[in-house]
Amino acid sequence: MTAPVRGRLANAVVELRPLEPTDASALFAALDHDEVWAYGYGGREARPRDVTGMEQYMARRLTGGTGGGVAWAVVRCEDGRLVGTSTLGDIDLPNEAAHLGWTAYDPAVWGTTINPATKLAILTHAFEGCGLGRVKFLVDDRNLRSQAAVARLGAVREGVLRRHRPRRDGTWRNSVVFSVIVDEWPAVRAGLERRLGRTGTPRP
Over the Cα atoms of the chain, what is R_g? 16
Residue 181, pLDDT score: 98
Residue 199, pLDDT score: 54
Residue 59, pLDDT score: 86
Strand, helix or coil for residue 16: strand
* Burial of 67: CB neighbours in 10 Å, binned 0-12, 13-18, 19+: middle
Look up residue 145 and give its amino acid.
R
* 204 residues of the chain, pLDDT tens digit each: 898 989 999 999 999 999 999 999 999 999 999 999 988 788 777 899 999 999 998 888 776 666 789 999 999 999 999 999 999 999 999 999 999 999 999 999 999 999 999 999 999 999 999 999 999 999 999 999 999 999 999 999 999 999 999 988 889 999 999 999 999 999 999 999 999 985 555 554
**Please, what are the domains in the chain?**
9-199 (3.40.630.30)
Strand, helix or coil for residue 166: strand
